[in-house]
Amino acid sequence: MEWLGRATIDFAHSPTTLSLKKKDGSTTDLFRVVEAAVPPCHLNPVLFNGHVQTMWTAVKEHGPQIYYRRRVFEADKSSVAGSFAVDFVTEPHDDEDPSLPPRTAYFSEEKFSDLGSDDRRPMLIALHGLSGGSHEIYLRHGIASFLNDGNNWEVCVLNARGCAKSKITSGVLFNARATWDLRHFVKWARKTFPNRPLFAVGFSLGGNILTNYVGEEGSNCELKAAISVGNPFDLDISNKALQRTALGKHVYSKTMGTSLKRLIANHKEDLIKTSTKLDFDRIESVTYIHEFDRAVQTVLWGYPTETAYYRDASSCDAVLAIRIPFLAISALDDPIAVAEAIPFEEFKQNPHTVLCTTSLGGHLSWFEAGGGRWFAKPMHNFLSSLVSEIDLDATTPDLNANLNGIESVTEFAATRRKLQIL
């Protein structure tokens, strides 16, 4: 029962979740680790519902002061040619680059060449939400606690192409299914830091991309575990929910559409050089996010409609293909990543996944009375407990898990979006 900001917490998971071997030789399972990591959710009672929680993000607090150094990576495949920027958390510095977000500077070639290490420090890769970046306050709240614990984490943020004042160098932009830059970076991190356990967290659209990536990689995933926060999961359902109400359409959808228009406008000269497909006058007339996707995503990727794009890019089916420990955190009153889009049944079938829902929290908000954001606590607790207590090298995917509980002559290709007859 909700009372003065005390949210109800629920879980959706398989009856038997993935078995995990502890460093002391005993065993536990994924759900027990998650359950122990999730604290009570006591939010600011003044911010009494998802709309107020979400709108409070417009209040520009400073948030944790996190410093970065940036490295620009070139895609490793010609089919997804272009560059993307990764911001690595560093000690405070005073050489901030005015062309980059606050507290951010480029690596020197010398310092970047010395970055590789055979240490065993855990490494966290963060993915931001729609048109955001490493500077976003919600993201800094999420990663701040990892910088001050005893596990000595390394943390970095993968910025989507053109975001966080990064350059656009090709006509291959990011979208909700753009897993290629994350895949490239994880491969680079595995080679550069061969002994580090790698983890990832994705926020909102970044959560959708991360979920798709982990599902696509399946049992070959190089990550030890991943977390999705405020994931919209089913983009078609989420978009229809936005258009159904005046607040959803004229506030949330319009705000997101405006931010994407601004992103295109900021990179217009570079886009003209790299893509002749876009109609910039049409983009300028866009108001809502679905109109943006119709004018940009369908044109760039060849989808016949924006709803076809939404269906293909959604990560709800990818949940079934995940084969690493995976935690999703969602608020049931989220007005953007709506509850009806959450794939509850898919989480109940996959023993590698656990869904944690709260009755309050809004979109990437979960504001507590003291100003912190609750979601940062289960995030940190879960991953730190895996690092501190679990023998990660002994954790292997349950390849024999029968997700639907019956023998079948058909196989649902979870990351290819269709049923295949064997």
Where do the domains of the chain lie, and which CATH numbers do they carry?
Answer: 6-234+315-421 (3.40.50.1820), 245-313 (no CATH)
Tell me which residue of 22, 118, 67, 27 sits closest to 392, measured CA to CA.
22
pLDDT higher than 80, residue 414: no
Q: What is the pLDDT of residue 363?
A: 98
Active-site hit among 29, 334, 359, 380: 334
Q: Which residues pair with 21 in a beta bridge?
A: 27
pLDDT higher than 60, residue 303: yes
Neighbours of 242 (CB within 10 A): 24
Active-site hit among 14, 145, 166, 204: 204
Report how far residue 81's alpha carbon sits from residue 296's, in angstroms, rounded to the nearest whole number.
Answer: 18
Q: What is the pLDDT of residue 398?
A: 79
Q: What is the pLDDT of residue 412?
A: 53
Residue with the larger pLDDT of the pair 168 and 148 = 168
The answer to whether residue 334 is catalytic is yes
What is the residue-wise DSSP string for 52-74?
A: HHHHGGGS-------EEEEEEEE
pLDDT higher than 90, residue 386: yes
Using CA atoms, how far residue 285 sits from 277, 279, 381, 421, in Å, is 16, 10, 45, 45
Report the percentage of the chain scoring pLDDT > 90.
88
Element (DSSP H or E) covering residue 284:
helix 280-284
Report how far residue 70's alpha carbon sits from residue 85's, in angstroms, rounded to the nearest whole number.
Answer: 7
**Lowest pLDDT segment from 59-68, 75-84, 181-190, 233-242:** 59-68
Confidence band of 406 (pLDDT split at 50, 70, 90)? very low
Q: What is the pLDDT of residue 409?
A: 39
Query: Average of pLDDT values for 120-142?
Result: 97
Q: Which residues pair with 84 in a beta bridge?
A: 73
Confidence band of 399 (pLDDT split at 50, 70, 90)? confident
DSSP-derived 3-state class of residue 412: strand
The verdict on pTM exceeding 0.75 is: yes
Query: Average of pLDDT values for 388-411?
Result: 69
Active-site hit among 333, 363, 365, 384: 363
Element (DSSP H or E) covering residue 42:
strand 41-42
Report how far residue 131's alpha carbon sits from residue 284's, in angstroms, rounded to the nearest whole number.
Answer: 17
Predicted confidence (pLDDT) per residue in 262-288, tens digit: 999 999 999 998 877 899 999 999 999
- What is the crossing angle of helices 376-389 and 30-37, to 10°? 130
Q: What is the pLDDT of residue 417?
A: 56
Predicted confidence (pLDDT) per residue in 307-351, tens digit: 999 999 999 999 999 999 999 999 999 999 999 999 999 999 999
pLDDT higher than 50, residue 407: no
Confidence band of 401 (pLDDT split at 50, 70, 90)? low
Q: What is the pLDDT of residue 57?
A: 86
Using CA atoms, how far residue 310 sits from 73, 233, 297, 313, 318, in Å, is 28, 10, 10, 5, 14
For the record, the structure tokens of 190 come out as 């595995």
For residue 276, give the amino acid letter.
T
The answer to whether residue 363 is catalytic is yes
For the record, the structure tokens of 122 come out as 């855990």
Query: Average of pLDDT values for 92-121?
Result: 96
Q: What is the pLDDT of residue 92?
A: 96
Query: Average of pLDDT values for 75-100?
Result: 95
Which residues have C-beta within 8 Å of that of residue 152, sequence separation ≥ 6?
A: 121, 122
pLDDT higher than 80, residue 393: yes
pLDDT higher than 50, residue 290: yes
Confidence band of 421 (pLDDT split at 50, 70, 90)? very low
